[in-house]
Amino acid sequence: MLRRFLRERVVPFTAHYGKMFRELGMDAAEIRGTADLVKLPFTSKKDFGTPKDFVIIPDEKVLKHQWSTLKLAVTHGPNAAKESLERELRPIFLTSTTGRSAAPVPFLYSQHDIDRLTEGGVRLMTLCRSERAWKHVNAFPFAPHLAFWQAHYAGTGFGAFMVSSGGGKTMGTEGNVKLIDKIDPDAIIAMPTFLYHLLQEGAAKGSRWKNLKRLVLGGEKVPAGMRRKLKALCAEMGSPEVSIMSTYGFTEAKIAWTECMSPEGEEPSGFHSYPDMAFVEVVDPDTGERVPDGQPGEIVVTTLDARGTVVLRYRTGDLIENGITYEPCPYCGRTCPRLLGKISRVSDIRELDIGKLKGTLVDFNRLENLLDDLDGLGAWQIELRKRNDDPLESDQVIVHAVPMNGSADSLKEEIGKRFRDATEFTPNDVLIHDWEEMRKLQGVGKELKEKKVVDHRPAEN
Ligand SMILES: [Zn+2]
């Protein structure tokens, strides 16, 4: 699949990879299998200066004379061949990266890619053991982002009822609660932080969502503590049996993967990848060398059989804690490659000047995980400030917190203690809020993604 993909589509018809192979003095045929991919340099975010260079744009003359085109024309006639190539190659749809740090990058899809997206969605539904007769709510925000469209095509492809609410930005948390009251869904698909606010508000207003069987999460990482808190809220609302599944997807892969349903109380099964749609490598983030199976490293993805925008050896910047495995899944028995353990961002290590500790490297993944894992903590936000708002002063770390139950004082103490255990410092302050205030701070219903970490440090110049 990789050989054909490179020879007939990627190398002849994408500007970026065509140039790469020419500069390497390589012929597409020299990549004989996935093992040979190491001969190619990585692709990373900074390479997307001209997104069009990653799009398969066929040269008609070359396309016409390709063996596969001739075969198509001979077997189905020239009109059908033309129609088939249109479906395969003409871009008709796009999703885009969110681009918090860089300009958004559009990823184009042909009908062939939408078929893949749909097939991937059907697999998500199957792995999550959804049923056709179930009612689903898709609460991802309306946006040209993979998460929303992956969920949408999962519903249409699987042939099950799905209502898309557009998330908080479209109808507010309250609007979502009312919609869910009416629909009484079996499954909700959403971003974890938003869903958490939704369940919290629903529970506070006395909603009973007794039909819930699945929560499918995407768009953010899902720490164990978050799963626990979501499950507790569902139990409070009448659905103690709910199963929680996390998905992993990103614009560049043009597909999302999910965990299968693990038995009650067991560890998650890892993200089940689709080897017919992408080849996944795990590499040492420093050396770029592949690491052995089961070892942590950065996730690198090569799209297979995609059209529109494609990537080879794309460095995600995501670290997978326990690497990749090709062993059959202990729960569902599937033999697809699985990515195991927590996912964290390579770039979430930030440098802070805390008091006398200049240039302290702080792993924000770890801070986020320890806050999510804290049972007495309902919701939180980490805010970075400068002392007296003076750019030359030291950094301050403020934790905003909503207590779940129990006293605010013991929660403050516990947060300080957890910080000390995990890092070299304690927060400068822990400020206690109620849910309404926290929703404002996080921008629930205003932002596409709730703000868990905010940087309010003034720039130095
Ligand atoms: Zn499985």
- Is residue 123 within 8 A of residue 111, CB to CB? The reply is no
**How confident is residue 392, by pLDDT bands cut at 50, 70 and 90?**
confident
Give me ligand 1 centre to Cα 126, in Å. Answer: 11
Say what percent of the chain tops pLDDT 90. Answer: 78
Quote the pLDDT of residue 101: 62
In this model, does residue 235 exceed pLDDT 80? Answer: yes
Give me ligand 1 centre to Cα 159, in Å. Answer: 22
- Is residue 193 within 8 A of residue 450, CB to CB? The reply is yes
Quote the pLDDT of residue 270: 97
Give me ligand 1 centre to Cα 271, in Å. Answer: 8
Give me ligand 1 centre to Cα 27, in Å. Answer: 38
Cα 283 from Cα 75, distance rounded (Å):
43
Give me ligand 1 centre to Cα 335, in Å. Answer: 8
Give me ligand 1 centre to Cα 303, in Å. Answer: 22
Give me ligand 1 centre to Cα 208, in Å. Answer: 31
In this model, does residue 405 exceed pLDDT 80? Answer: no
Cα 283 from Cα 295, distance rounded (Å):
9
The per-residue pLDDT for range 352-371, each reduced to its tens digit, is 888 777 788 888 888 888 89
Residue given tokens 């990103």 in the structure block = 250
- Of the candidate ranges 229-238, 250-259, 365-374, 408-417, the one whose mean pLDDT is the lowest: 365-374
**Cα dihedral 148, 150, 155, 156 sign:** positive
Strand partners, 381: 400
Give me ligand 1 centre to Cα 261, in Å. Answer: 7
Give me ligand 1 centre to Cα 357, in Å. Answer: 45
Give me ligand 1 centre to Cα 181, in Å. Answer: 32
**How confident is residue 99, by pLDDT bands cut at 50, 70 and 90?**
low
Q: Looking at residues 428-435, what average pLDDT do you find?
A: 93
Give me ligand 1 centre to Cα 340, in Å. Answer: 11
Q: Looking at residues 143-147, what average pLDDT do you find?
A: 95
Give me ligand 1 centre to Cα 257, in Å. Answer: 11
Give me ligand 1 centre to Cα 321, in Å. Answer: 18
Quote the pLDDT of residue 71: 93
Say what percent of the chain tops pLDDT 70. Answer: 98
DSSP collapsed to 3 states, 285-333:
CCCCCECCCCCCEEEEEEECCCCCECCCCEEEEEEECCCEECCCCCCCC
Quote the pLDDT of residue 54: 98
Give me ligand 1 centre to Cα 220, in Å. Answer: 21
User: Please, what's the b/e burial string for 177-196 (b: 16 or more CB within 10 A of its CB; e: otherwise)?
Assistant: bbbbeebebbbbbbbbbbbb
Q: Looking at residues 367-376, what average pLDDT do you find?
A: 87
Give me ligand 1 centre to Cα 333, in Å. Answer: 6
284-292 long-range Cβ contacts below 8 angstroms, 24+ apart: 285/319, 285/346, 288/42, 290/38, 291/323, 292/323
Give me ligand 1 centre to Cα 105, in Å. Answer: 32
Give me ligand 1 centre to Cα 270, in Å. Answer: 8
Q: Looking at residues 62-88, what average pLDDT do you find?
A: 94
- Is residue 427 within 8 A of residue 419, CB to CB? The reply is yes
Give me ligand 1 centre to Cα 151, in Å. Answer: 20
Give me ligand 1 centre to Cα 332, in Å. Answer: 4
Tokens, residue 251: 């614009």
**How confident is residue 243, by pLDDT bands cut at 50, 70 and 90?**
very high
- Of the candidate ranges 79-93, 101-115, 145-159, the one whose mean pLDDT is the lowest: 101-115
The per-residue pLDDT for range 146-167, each reduced to its tens digit, is 999 999 999 999 999 999 999 9
Smallest CA-to-CA distance from 402 within 170, 140, 196 is with: 196
Cα 343 from Cα 317, distance rounded (Å):
10
Amino acid letter, residue 268: P
Q: Looking at residues 238-264, what average pLDDT do you find?
A: 95
Cα 353 from Cα 360, distance rounded (Å):
6
Smallest CA-to-CA distance from 103 within 41, 169, 51 is with: 51
